[in-house]
Structure 1
Amino acid sequence: MKYKLLGRSGLKVSELCLGTMGFGTEAGWGADKDTSFKIMDTFAEAGGNFIDTANIYKLGTSEKIIGEYISNHDRDYFVLATKYTLKDNITNPNASGNNRKNMMRSVEESLKRLKMDFIDLLYLHIWDDITPIDEVLRAMDDLVKQGKVNYVAISDTPAWVVAQGNTLAELMGWSRFVALQVEYSLLARTPERELIPMAKHFGITVTPWAPLAGGALTGKYLRGEQGRIKPESVRLNDHSAEITRAVVTIADEIGISASNVALKWTTQQGFSSIPIVGATKVEQLADNLKTVDVELTAEHLKRLDEVSAIKLGFPGDFFREDAVRINSFGGFFEKVEKRA
């Protein structure tokens, strides 16, 4: 597996990130500890070092399983990312949210479950629309200075908030966000309106969650197989089925799985992207790991772009129209100059 720099940092992470939301069997689904260990073994043997979890995944079981596994392996090899924000206990009114008190409490609890002295990458999990961004960044920077966190990141937050935060952090000399985690796939391209252009501007790596749209892009629902997506989900409507059929067609042409096509698409969009690959079975991960050997052609990308295209709205579509006008004027002026 190749390694990439995470955002504007010197941190080297694998080109695929292992998602561990399914580590644990709470709620009647997921991988037990032995299976989770085998999944992490498979990932590490392929050169994977980037692991993603959160304080609330499986009520903390995900962090516990990862902590037990890494405690018996080389801690320095792995780049462990976890998150804080969402409610993980009922002891107090500040057991959720982006505030400093919850951040500090959550990090201490995560470190205990992970059996670690530090977290490589700490994400704000979801914007609460209450806490000032300067409170978040100052607290994160304090954790970095304390040696409990190495790098900071943000997830599921409006582009303007992230932009304000990184600008403030640069001004104040605080740790800046190096990664942005958002839902992004061929069935969920709306981040292209604001979030991805913002990430490109600030040199932030995007780490797409649900790059396979909950399994919809694997083609299994087209084949009539069962899954955990509700029948009324937008991931299963007629347009989504059309996009999935295009993915399956290209996969058949190349001789690879639909998952490989869908995952690779997220990494060939002209910005730094490391998709989060979740797995509750070793064979699922084994197939997804084959993605690193895939390269989609310009023609493949064009077909996928056309079938999944979205309206950018204002100002994105306006800029596109303006670019056409500017190009037209450019041609006109070029002709005038030649005549002169």
Structure 2
Amino acid sequence: MDIRNLGRSGLRVSAVGLGCNNFGQRTDLETSRKVIHKAIDLGITLFDTADIYAGMGGSETVLGEVLGDRRKDIVLATKYAKPMSTDGTKQGASRRYIFNAVEASLKRLKTDYIDLYQQHEFDDRTPIEETLRALDDLVRQGKVRYIGHSNFPAWRIAEAEFTARQMGVTPFVSSQDEYSLVVRGIEKDLLPAAQQYNLGLLPFFPLANGLLTGKYKPGTEPPADSRFAKAPALRERSATPRNEAIAVKLDTFARERGHTLLELAFSWLAARPQVSSVIAGATRVEQIEQNVKAASWKLSAEEMAEIDGITL
């Protein structure tokens, strides 16, 4: 497994990370246990969860139950800011809420520190100065090692960087955003911002909700046990006529070179600027094995250019 620095920080993470949103939701405790331990055995170190995953805390609770002594072997990342209550009182990035949220996450995860604490979305009701000061205090207290953000617009990334420098507080070191062969919108503004400030990019939905696995064929119904069959909204979002046409061409491109579409999806992201780790979920041990293997294709400059011709 390739190990990389997370942006400009000294934190080292595996090039393939494990998205933990399935734990406690699509996978039961014992299945989650098998997936988690297999991931560690295969060299995955970055485990990415959030307080809202699996029904408000379910994913964190599973990780807390399963990790045990292996907690020290991984980089544990979680998130705050999205609603944890229906009345709007438990969300955002205020000092009060961050301090409450981190304690709740630490309790569920059964740990006394979080390696990477990420703001899940920007909070336009809280000054960024207040948020950064609170996060800096958590770092100084040892409850958090590094901080990152997710779903920030590019100009908010620049604002946060400038503010952290002016205040002399801990800056964000990572940005987690949707990025795949069929979703390349971040390349316009966000990716340049990540490059400017040397943020580690953590792409999520690398397989476009399953479209880039190769299991779906245009004009045919998805397999009954597939994600698209169980979640029609995801199919409608990802399997647009444009995306399906691109996926067909990419599948041909990969097969002509002795690879699968899934291997192309992972390896392309792993070769993109600023990408520190590709975040992908798994509901079965076999998927973990596929994901780890998938990022090993070293694409040439000519192949990368040809992919641009297909996807842009």
Q: TM-score range by the shorter chain?
A: over 0.9
Q: Secondary structure at the match of 1:293?
A: coil
Q: Secondary structure at the match of 1:221?
A: coil
Aligned partner (choices 139, 151, 169) of residue 164 of structure 2: 169
Q: Does 1:275 align with 2:311?
A: no
State the shift of 1:231 in Å.
7.2
| 2:17 equivalent in structure 1 | 17
Q: Secondary structure at the match of 2:305?
A: helix
* Residue deviations 1:218-261 (CA, integer Å, cap 9, x gap): 12221642423437724212210111012211221233321111
Aligned partner (choices 25, 32, 38) of residue 42 of structure 1: 38
Q: Secondary structure at the match of 1:187?
A: coil
* Residue deviations 1:168-227 (CA, integer Å, cap 9, x gap): 212322111111001111111110011100000101010011011100111222164242
State the shift of 1:74 in Å.
3.0
Aligned partner (choices 78, 81, 85) of residue 82 of structure 1: 78
Q: For 1:119 and 1:199, how far apart are their aligned partners in 2? A: 23
| 2:175 equivalent in structure 1 | 180
Question: Unmatched 5+ residue regions in structure 1?
Answer: 310-340
Q: What residue identity is the alignment partner of 1:217?
A: L
Q: What residue identity is the alignment partner of 1:3?
A: I
State the shift of 1:5 in Å.
0.7
Distance 1:246 1:172, change over 3 A: same
Q: For 1:250 and 1:37, how far apart are their aligned partners in 2? A: 36
| 1:325 equivalent in structure 2 | none
Percent identity for Structure 1 against Structure 2: 39
State the shift of 1:273 in Å.
3.6
Q: For 1:103 and 1:270, how far apart are their aligned partners in 2? A: 31
Q: Does 1:98 align with 2:93?
A: yes
State the shift of 1:262 in Å.
0.7
Q: For 2:71 and 2:101, how far apart are their aligned partners in 1? A: 21
Aligned partner (choices 65, 71, 88) of residue 62 of structure 2: 65
Tell me which stretches of 4 or more aligned residues in structure 1 moved more than 6 Å: none
Give 1:113-152 correspondences, 5 Å limit. 113-152=108-147
Kept after mapping to 2: 8 A contact 1:266/1:273: no
Q: Secondary structure at the match of 1:13?
A: strand
Question: Unmatched 5+ residue regions in structure 2?
Answer: none
Q: What residue identity is the alignment partner of 2:32?
A: S
Q: Secondary structure at the match of 2:233?
A: coil
Aligned partner (choices 288, 293, 302) of residue 291 of structure 2: 288
Q: For 2:189 and 2:81, how far apart are their aligned partners in 1? A: 23
Larger Rg belongs to: 1
Q: For 1:94 and 1:162, how far apart are their aligned partners in 2? A: 25
> What's the TM-score once normalised by structure 2's chain length?
0.92
> What's the TM-score once normalised by structure 1's chain length?
0.85
CA RMSD between the two structures: 1.6
Q: For 2:254 and 2:310, how far apart are their aligned partners in 1? A: 15
